[in-house]
Structure 1
Amino acid sequence: MAPYIRLRQICLVAPQLEPVITDMARIMGLTVCYRDGNVAKYGLENALLPVDTILLEVVAPFKDGTTAGRFIEKTGGRGGYMAIFCCDDPDGRGRNANALGVRTANVIDHAPYHGVQLHPRDCRAAFIEFNHTEGSDDTLGAYPPAGPDWQKFIRKDVTQALTAVEMQSPDPQGLAEHWGKIIGVAARDAELKLPNATFRFVKGTSEIMSALEFRVTDAARVLHAAREKGHAVAGNEFLLGGVTFRVN
């Protein structure tokens, strides 16, 4: 199999799923495709919404002592939780990360799905996960974390694509190079360009996943919907689920 890596999923974290999920769906014109009962063993509940072929997930803790809960406490609820990449060889990429001093936090093995999650403290800013679903290398192929028929829930009448992820750091070039070494994509001008999305690293006071950028059919309509749901809009962006949603 030829080596490849794509952004498959962005995971956000919130103290409760509602009203975040409902607001996200209504403002961005998205539809929940799946709620995964398997995350309950981690003390979490979740919901996933497809944005074209990239999944947008929100998780929320329902008991004390969860990793997600500690993340909220540490960050004050600001910043995305996890960047999830599908690739040809999660274990190989995990070993490469280990050689860089990035520890493996968790391995998920539910055939045909196999995932390797890296420690957020070593990744800096957010969790990184590599995964592969056997026999499903197509962008519209099977992806068990999103449910059996996630493709049927793709809508493009409002939101067409998630185009970029913004990462913030006091040392954006350093963080870009660090993430680039982990995921195997060369950093150029504090950016990592993947086939289906760009990671952009900007100056900030702390290291967080700070914003998501979307291509939409009508930005004014989306921003109006955000105001209607009570979110403060500045220019072409608003805060939702701990990150800035930026629409173009």
Structure 2
Amino acid sequence: MTQVRLRQLVIAAEALETAEALAEVLGLGPGFPDPGVAEFGLVNRVYAIGDQFLEVVVPTALTAPAARFIARGGEGGYMAIFQTDDVAATRARLDTMNIRRVWNIDLPDISASHLHPGDIGAAIVSIDEARPAGSWRWGGPDWEKNSVPGRLTGAVVTTRDPEGLAAHWGKALGAPVSGTVVKLADAQIEFHQGTEERLAKFRVSLPEPGAAAARAIRRGLDVVDNEVRIGGVGIVLETV
């Protein structure tokens, strides 16, 4: 059976100060600036947490898709990247669902397909197959050295049709669905009722979430019910 993991969550922001705030609050290591994102009109920072990743992208041109995203609704959750162990089967399934693959790449160590947000809903979704499975090109050459303890346990998507969009994402990903929750091998994606279709929250598990909350407060950010808002995203602080 195909295993699907959550490997990376992405915020689109107006400036790299958002990346600095995220790193400071969560106690992240050095961020990797990936020169490859220039293809999309971006600069970025990618941070490793366990063997998963948080990324902040900043548009460098008004024509960049991320710039249009920010212009429509402000900074926020922009992309979710999932790992499969069978990208060929995934691509075939997506094609039968008429979900457009707007960017594809096949390298010796990774294959990836970005899905059109208008077809998948709520965000850009990428489905990648890394070779070997524990590697991750997008994290940079030193990600294992720079990783900090913790993990991404999931995300929250808001939509007017939680059950319908959950079923759609589950079918596209090849992952089981229970009501309004897509269940992955290591995380879950929850779909909540909302007026706006958006990748609204990231769930982040840390050894000391209280310390992260204290750093957020020192930075002048509000923490409510273990949640701090950074770059338009609610970062839910959980215990490992």
TM-score by length of 1: 0.91
Q: Which residue of 2 aligns with 1:7?
A: 6
Q: Which one-letter code corresponds to 1:70 in the other structure?
A: R
Question: Matches of 1:210 and 1:72 in 2, distance apart?
Answer: 14
Q: Which residue of 2 aligns with 1:166?
A: 156
Question: Matches of 1:57 and 1:80 in 2, distance apart?
Answer: 10
Q: Which residue of 2 aligns with 1:104?
A: 101
Q: Which one-letter code corresponds to 1:167 in the other structure?
A: V
The yes-or-no answer on 1:143 pairing with 2:136 is yes
Question: Matches of 1:219 and 1:133 in 2, distance apart?
Answer: 30
Q: Which residue of 2 aligns with 1:44?
A: 42
May I ask how many residue pairs the two structures share in their alignment?
238
Question: Any residues of structure 2 matched to 1:28-107 within 5 Å, and which?
Answer: 28-77=26-75, 79-107=76-104
Question: Matches of 2:73 and 2:121 in 1, distance apart?
Answer: 13
* Contact 1:162–1:215 (Cα < 8 Å) also in 2: yes
- Structure 1 residue 216: Cα displacement: 2.4
Question: Matches of 2:170 and 2:79 in 1, distance apart?
Answer: 16
The DSSP-based 3-state class of the residue aligned with 2:28 is: coil
Q: Which one-letter code corresponds to 1:92 in the other structure?
A: A
Question: Matches of 1:7 and 1:216 in 2, distance apart?
Answer: 16
* Contact 2:6–2:184 (Cα < 8 Å) also in 1: yes
Question: Matches of 1:21 and 1:86 in 2, distance apart?
Answer: 23
Which segment drifts farther, 210-219 or 117-126? 210-219
Question: Matches of 2:89 and 2:183 in 1, distance apart?
Answer: 21
Q: Which one-letter code corresponds to 1:126 in the other structure?
A: A
Question: Any residues of structure 2 matched to 1:13-24 within 5 Å, and which?
Answer: 13-17=12-16, 19-24=17-22
Question: Matches of 1:193 and 1:155 in 2, distance apart?
Answer: 25
1:127-179 Cα deviation digits (max 9, x unpaired):
11111233x12xxx3211111121111112xxx22212111111111111110
Which 5+ residue runs of structure 2 have no aligned equivalent?
none
Q: Which residue of 2 aligns with 1:224?
A: 214
Indicate which of 147, 165, 169 corresponds to 1:154. 147
- Structure 1 residue 95: Cα displacement: 2.3
Question: Matches of 1:119 and 1:246 in 2, distance apart?
Answer: 27
Q: Which one-letter code corresponds to 1:222 in the other structure?
A: A
Which 5+ residue runs of structure 1 have no aligned equivalent?
none
The DSSP-based 3-state class of the residue aligned with 1:81 is: strand
The DSSP-based 3-state class of the residue aligned with 2:192 is: strand
TM-score by length of 2: 0.93
CA RMSD between the two structures = 1.5
Q: Percent identity at matched positions?
A: 32
- Structure 1 residue 33: Cα displacement: 4.2
